[in-house]
Amino acid sequence: MRLALARALFARPDLLLLDEPTNMLDVRAILWLENYLQTWPSTILVVSHDRNFLNAVATDIVHLHSQRLEGYRGNFESFLKTKEERLKNQQREYEAQHQYREHIQVFIDRFRYNANRASQVQSKLKLLEKLPELKPVEKDTEVILRFPDGFEKFSPPILQLDEVDFWYSSDQPIFKKLSVSADLDSRICVVGSNIVCLHYRIF
């Protein structure tokens, strides 16, 4: 990843496309990349699940939703606030127009066959046709995880490793004779030189 990033940055393209650039980078490399990209002179298009990285680097957010692209100014946190406010306004406008349509429709249904009100009914029908069709807010699909009954009562340890070795090559082991256990209250962070900071939480 470092080599691929170095080649891309060295080329200094007019449009830099980055797909999950913080994957497989350690914390120091991520911080360096954030600072470096803040002064990048041309356009960057980045896809990332790293909120901190997006907050540090992004000046605009493009949201793909319901087969549409919507642009937002600011970083990721600003996008979340603006999107929430925009959705609230959209829902309020929809509800207000829905009530207005119902009010007009009641008038039309009441006087549709009244000759004295024929011109008013026609005017109301034309008004309904000219109203833009607003749609209610589409809520994001909720993901619900279900665990079997009694899951929280599992007796510790939930995970146990005894004298574990790990290496990419036999002459350079990453670690040797590692013994560690984890229960439901464990919060484990694996850190070290040239590795990504990995967080494990046992639910």
Q: What is the pLDDT along the chain (203 residues), one digit of tens a residue?
A: 788 888 989 999 999 999 999 988 888 889 999 999 999 999 999 999 999 999 999 999 999 887 889 999 999 999 999 999 998 998 999 999 999 989 888 888 888 888 888 888 888 888 888 888 888 877 777 888 887 776 666 778 888 889 988 887 777 787 888 888 888 788 887 776 655 444 444 44
Distance in angstroms (rounded) separating the CA atoms of residues 39 and 89? 35
The helix-helix angle for 2-11 and 27-37 (nearest 10°) equals 10
User: What pTM was computed for the model?
Assistant: 0.61
CA distances from 181 to 153, 191, 192, 197 (A): 17, 17, 19, 19
Identify whether the C-beta of residue 163 lies closer than 8 Å to the C-beta of residue 178: yes
Degrees, nearest 5: CA angle 146-148-154:
120
Give the residue ranges of DSSP H helices in 58-198. 76-111, 118-130
DSSP 8-state symbol, 3: H
Report which of 174, 176, 179 is spatially closest to residue 162, judged by C-alpha positions. Answer: 179
Question: Does the N-terminal peptide bond of residue 157 adopt cis geometry, omega within 30 degrees of 0?
Answer: yes
Query: What is the distance between the alpha carbons of residues 153 and 147, in angstroms, rounded to a whole number?
Result: 12
Angle at 54 between CA 143 and CA 186, to 5 degrees: 55
Name the nearest CA neighbour of 56 among 74, 80, 41, 29.
Answer: 74
